[in-house]
C-alpha cells in the first residue's frame, strides 16, 4: 500500500517524475514557490510514484487569473496544482488517495484548482470538487473547481480499508 509523505524538503523527488514542460516551469519559479508550497508525494515501496503541490498563497502559478486567485486565497483556500501519478501506476486510485489524505492534512481549509483538460473533470467531481467557473485565457478554456471545507462523506476511511480492491472509475 502506498503512503502520502511531505517531501517539501526534497522537491526534486517529485519534480523528476513530471513531464519536462511542467518540470521546467516549476524549476524556473521554485524560488518563488518554495516558501508557500507543500510538496506531497505518494510513496510506494520506498519509491515516489506521484504527488502534487499544495499552495498556501498567490504565486505566478495562479497569475493567469489574478483576481480569481486572490479571491480564493483571501477566503483561505489552498490551491492544488501539478497532481501527477507516473503512468505505470495510474488506474490504481493513487490520485484519489492523495487528494483525500491532503484533505485530512488540511481539514481547516477549502481547496481550489484549475484544469485545462476537460477529461479530468470526472476525477475531480468524484472527489467532491464542484465546478465554480469557466475562464478563457489566451483563447483556451480553463475550469475552476472548488472543494469546500469539510466533507459530507469521509472517504478517507473507505479508501484506507478498500484501497487495494476499489475499482477505478
For residue range 107-144, what is the model confidence (pLDDT) as tens digits? 999 999 999 999 999 999 999 999 999 998 888 999 99
Tell me which of 1.10.760.10, 3.40.630.30, 3.40.50.150, 3.40.50.300 is the CATH number of domain 3-162.
3.40.630.30
**For the chain, what is the mean pLDDT?**
88
How confident is the model over 65-94, as a mean pLDDT? 95
pLDDT given at position 83? 98
Alpha carbon distance 98, 53 (integer Å): 11
Least confident of 37-41, 83-87, 97-101, 158-162: 158-162
> Which is more confidently placed, 89 or 161?
89
Would you state the pLDDT for residue 153?
A: 41
pLDDT value, residue 151: 53
Q: What is the pLDDT of residue 84?
A: 98
pLDDT at residue 72 greater than cutoff 60:
yes
Residues 33-62: tens digit of each pLDDT: 999 999 999 999 999 999 999 999 999 887
Q: Which of 6, 147, 7 is nearest to 76 (CA)?
A: 147
Q: Does 167 score more than 60 pLDDT? A: no
Q: How far apart are CA 167 and CA 164, in angstroms?
A: 9
Amino acid at each position: 500500500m502506498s503512503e502520502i509523505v511531505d517531501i517539501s524538503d526534497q522537491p526534486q523527488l517529485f519534480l523528476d517524475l513530471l513531464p519536462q514542460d511542467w518540470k521546467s516551469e516549476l524549476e524556473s519559479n521554485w524560488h518563488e514557490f518554495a516558501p508557500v508550497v507543500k510538496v506531497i508525494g505518494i510513496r510506494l515501496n520506498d519509491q515516489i510514484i506521484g504527488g502534487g503541490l499544495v499552495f498556501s498563497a498567490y504565486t505566478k502559478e495562479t497569475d493567469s487569473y489574478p483576481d480569481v486567485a486572490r479571491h480564493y486565497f483571501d477566503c483561505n483556500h489552498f490551491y492544488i496544482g501539478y497532481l501527477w501519478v507516473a503512468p505505470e501506476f495510474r488506474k490504481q486510485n493513487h490520485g484519489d488517495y492523495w487528494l483525500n489524505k491532503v484533505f485530512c492534512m488540511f481539514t481547516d481549509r477549502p481547496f481550489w484548482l484549475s484544469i485545462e483538460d476537460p477529461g479530468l473533470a470526472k476525477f475531480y467531481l468524484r472527489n467532491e470538487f464542484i465546478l465554480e467557473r469557466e475562464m478563457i485565457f489566451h483563447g483556451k478554456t480553463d475550469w475552476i473547481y472548488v472543494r469546500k471545507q469539510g466533507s459530507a462523506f469521509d472517504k478517507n476511511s473507505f479508501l484506507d480499508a478498500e484501497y487495494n480492491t476499489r475499482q477505478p472509475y
